[in-house]
Amino acid sequence: MNEILRIENVCKKYPSFSLKNVSFDIKPGQIMGFIGRNGAGKTTTLKCVMNLIHYESGSIYAFDKDMTENELECKQRIGFALSELNYYPNKTIRQLMNVTKRFYKKFDEHKFEEACRLFNLNVDKKIEQLSSGMKVKFSVAIALSHDAELLILDEPTSGLDPVSRDEILDIFNKLVKKKDRAILFSTHITSDLDKCASDITYIHDGEIVYSGTKKGFIDSYMFVKDKTSNKSLLNEYISYKELDGRIEGLISSKKKETFIKNGIEPVEPDLEQIMVYLERSKDNNESFDL
């Protein structure tokens, strides 16, 4: 099996938004961070993968099988959690676990209880009594409890405190250590990607801008802090800000030597800087290349 998940030219049209030929794949051993601003199409893409919404064209394969033709079989091998839970609010965690386990042949109640202990979840608490962070932990605990080979998680660390986020990211790293599983998760918290992601898929306005290694993504760009405020170089930026007599912005790594020749030393950007300035570029209808 070359890919655990392969998405090919998936299109989904809404009156005010469309997924446009979305394509990427994820292989065993990978942790892929799915990034993009709110409304870019991350959750829509994940729902298409899980056949929760109908897409007009394209193909989705999981474990080398067409998801639409082998949905039940494939979903037995996938752990899935959306950022917003719609579980019955008056039911306890234990009651919902007893319902959920009926759907998975390999559901391991012991693993679920272990995950609840790790996340400090009281299984006798009602869903309506849980904080948003605790609801996320419950979703992840369910996903980890049926020996899933692929975890698809929508904002799994949203609303969690730093310690809980770190615990979940450690679990992610351990899960893929044997190279027989993979994780695809969307997030706005770029520091999470720094800690565990091997690959990045970046979506903007329903289109995939980049899908590949995290290193390749970062290496495509450089960050500039120009205290000389050299305005003759403004056209060399992907996008920039003028701040207190200096210019800060993102450039293609191909432009590095141009800035060095002008006495400016670009540095490696972090993921947050890349995402912020790429979005500024797109919002201003400016083009950029990798």
Query: What are the 10-residue block averages of pLDDT along the chain, 290 residues in total?
Result: 91 96 97 94 95 95 95 93 73 93 92 90 92 79 88 86 85 90 92 93 96 97 92 94 91 96 95 93 57
Contact between 265 and 259 under an 8 Å Cβ cutoff? The reply is: yes
pLDDT on residue 118 = 83
Reading the block at residue 22, the tokens are: 């979305």
Query: What is the residue type of 184?
Result: L
Q: Kindly report the number of other CB atoms within 10 A of residue 196's CB atom.
A: 19
pLDDT on residue 56 = 96
Query: What is the residue type of 147?
Result: D
Pair type for strands 239-243 and 246-252: antiparallel
Pair type for strands 57-62 and 5-13: antiparallel
pLDDT on residue 286 = 46
pLDDT on residue 254 = 96
pLDDT on residue 287 = 47
Going edge to edge, which strands form the sheet with 18-26?
Answer: 18-26, 5-13, 57-62, 65-66
Residues, the chain: 290
Q: Kindly report the number of other CB atoms within 10 A of residue 98's CB atom.
A: 12
- In angstroms, the CA 235 to CA 252 distance is 12
- Residues in CB range of 153: below 8 A, 6 or more apart: 79, 80, 81, 139, 140, 143, 183, 184, 185, 186
Domains of the chain: 5-217 (3.40.50.300), 220-283 (no CATH)
- In angstroms, the CA 290 to CA 237 distance is 13
pLDDT on residue 138 = 86
Q: Note the pTM of the prediction, 2 decimals.
A: 0.88
- In angstroms, the CA 163 to CA 181 distance is 24
Integer CA distances (angstroms), 97 to 91, 112, 116, 208, 220, in order? 10, 8, 11, 36, 45
Strands (E), 64-128: 65-66, 78-81
pLDDT on residue 139 = 81
Query: What is the residue type of 39?
Result: G
Reading the block at residue 242, the tokens are: 């003028």
CA atoms lying within 13 Å on the CB side of residue 91: 14
DSSP 8-state symbol, 258 = H
Reading the block at residue 176, the tokens are: 């893929």
From the list 276, 273, 274, 263, the residue with the least C-alpha distance to 227 is 263
- In angstroms, the CA 155 to CA 34 distance is 9
